[in-house]
Amino acid sequence: LLIYFRRFKLRNLNAANVIETAVLVGDNVGCSVNLQHHHCFVFGDLNYRITDDSQAILENLARVCQVEKETSGENWRKERWEKIIKQPTEGSARSMGLNATVDDLHLQGSRACEEAWSDFQTMDELSKAMSSQNVFYGFKEAPISFPPSFRRKRGEAGDCGDYSDLAVLNNAFTTTVASDEDFEGKDEAQKIEILKKNARPPSYTDRILLYSMDDREKAIQMGPYELCDNLTAKEQT
């Protein structure tokens, strides 16, 4: 737990440093970057993790995706992407969240699926930090209703199917970077520490956050917030 807390604290410090020191105007006006503009996006690999045992995370993920299958259909991942890539009409765009604010998106979707995904993310570091106003104060994120991409194996080995089969998930995710050589000559206590240090729990490391000034929130229309399953050239997408 101490290792996780130290890393979590460092992530918060790095995030705060980015917001407080970034300058996107001609002169440094002495305030956080999000207060200098109508809108501010922060996106990329923020490196926050789900703080739970990797196996427990994958078991919960399989359970949530089973709910999605039962609610949205057997091919829920494929069908969701087919909706996204189709050129939307004005009527269908709103149903997909293409003309919605972040707050609007939180009101859409199946209640059963929404609750399942919300429960799955209770141990997500970034969500907890933002809720407690420890970092990215005033920023919002669209609801996450898709599986984590970190740390899937590259290529076909990282194919998770519909994410409801635990055996497939165990094979597709890399949950530790420790090798057999790391354990040679180590006692049990040392092996446990090695496992903790090298653990890579499945997580939502890549995120998109938005801050808008109070009178400008409705000027940003949100598109789908999704994982691209077929991009397997890297370990997170």
Residue 97, C-beta contacts closer than 8 angstroms, at least 6 positions apart? 104, 105, 108, 142, 222, 223, 224, 225
- Which residue numbers in the chain have pLDDT < 50? 89-98, 107
Tokens 């194919």 belong to 159
Whether 167 maps to a domain, the answer reads yes
Q: Which two tokens stand for residue 58?
A: 């994958």
Q: What are the Cα distances from residue 195, in Å, to 53, 115, 186?
A: 11, 32, 12
Number of domains in the chain: 1
Structural domain harbouring 24: 2-219
In a domain, 228, yes or no: no
The whole model's pTM is what? 0.81
pLDDT at 235: 62
> Has residue 20 been placed in a domain?
yes
Q: Is residue 57 a part of any domain in this protein?
A: yes
Residue 31 lies in a domain: yes
Q: Is 153 a member of any domain?
A: yes
Q: Does residue 24 belong to any structural domain of this protein?
A: yes
Model pLDDT for residues 190-234, shown as the tens digit of each residue: 888 888 889 999 999 999 999 998 888 888 887 889 998 887 776
- Give the CA distances from residue 73 to residues 16, 92, 93, in Å, rounded to whole numbers and listed in that order: 41, 19, 21
Whether residue 143 lies inside any domain: the answer is: yes
